[in-house]
């Protein structure tokens, strides 16, 4: 189904949505209490503050409020400097996810994005369709399921995005989803299209490697990790990047 991009603006801010998924999306869609009052909200661990799952007329979705991380979070909380509509984080991510879908790559299907103005700043939210029956790569690692075969699948997944010039700003084990039918990349905040180049592609891979090591992937020694996980991942990555 082709995306039908629509924008709703008012004095509060603006909503960008796919009318092919839902013909109308209002500010209430981005309010957890709205869904909670209808027994249509539940949360699960993950991200900053957990993940909100909402049962919408368009199906089960993930509602994500943009939160800052690091030291700046103490000063800015969930607010971002306003530099124009097209540079808002939710609208940029919405359009990148639309391009990912157009390219046939496995990412979350976008439903709606919103910003709310606060003078010189704005806050933001994004709604995507939930990818059902999936675990993060971090969860698979914790359960001892990250073997050479899964590592190869991860390598192929990353290569497909890199070949298309899709740069993921935070490629880590929490942002790779493993479902029964396919692997997915999620959370494309600050991601963008780039001309394929070895420099950023390798930096992206090294970010994923650091994430795996931080989560204990080398608990049996780094040599075992290299042989059982990282080398199979790189092998399939290379084969998929330049078939």
Which residues are the active-site residues?
A: 170
Q: Which two tokens stand for residue 16?
A: 């960008």
CA dist., res. 114 & res. 91, Å (int): 7
Q: What is the 3-state secondary structure (H, E, C) of the chain?
A: CCCCEEEEECCCEEEEEECCCCCCCCHHHHCHHHHHCCCCEEEECCCCCCEEEEEECCEEEEEEECCCCCCHHHHHCCCEECCCHHHCHHHHHHHHHHHHHHCCCCCCCEEEEEEEEECCEEEEEEEEECCCCEEEHHHHHHCCCCCHHHHHHHHHHHHHHHHCCEECCCCCHHHEEEECCCEEECCCCCCEECCCCHHHHHHHHHHHHHHHHHCCCCCCCHHHHHHHHHHHHHHHHHHHHCC
Residue 16 near residue 5 (C-beta atoms within 8 A): yes
């Amino acid at each position: 189904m082709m995306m039908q991009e629509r924008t709703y603006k008012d004095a509060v801010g603006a909503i960008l949505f796919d009318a092919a998924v839902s013909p109308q999306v209002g500010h209430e869609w981005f309010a957890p209490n709205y869904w909670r009052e209808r027994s249509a909200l539940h949360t699960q661990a993950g991200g900053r503050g957990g993940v909100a799952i909402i049962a919408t007329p368009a199906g089960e979705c993930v509602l994500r409020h943009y939160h800052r991380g690091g030291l700046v979070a103490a000063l800015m909380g969930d607010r971002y400097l306003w530099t124009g509509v097209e540079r808002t984080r939710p609208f940029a991510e919405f359009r990148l996810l639309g391009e990912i879908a157009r390219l046939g790559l496995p990412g979350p299907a976008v439903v709606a994005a919103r910003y709310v103005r606060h003078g010189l700043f704005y806050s933001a939210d994004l709604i995507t369709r939930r990818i059902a029956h999936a675990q993060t790569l971090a969860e698979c690692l914790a359960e001892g399921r990250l073997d050479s075969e899964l590592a190869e699948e991860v390598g192929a997944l990353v290569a497909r995005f890199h070949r298309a010039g899709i740069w993921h700003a935070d490629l880590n084990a929490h942002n790779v989803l493993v479902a029964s039918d396919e692997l997915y990349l999620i959370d494309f905040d600050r991601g963008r299209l780039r001309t394929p180049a070895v420099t950023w592609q390798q930096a992206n891979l090294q970010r994923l490697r650091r994430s795996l090591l931080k989560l204990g992937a080398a608990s049996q020694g780094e040599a075992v990790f290299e042989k059982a996980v990282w080398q199979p991942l790189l092998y399939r990555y290379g084969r998929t990047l330049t078939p």
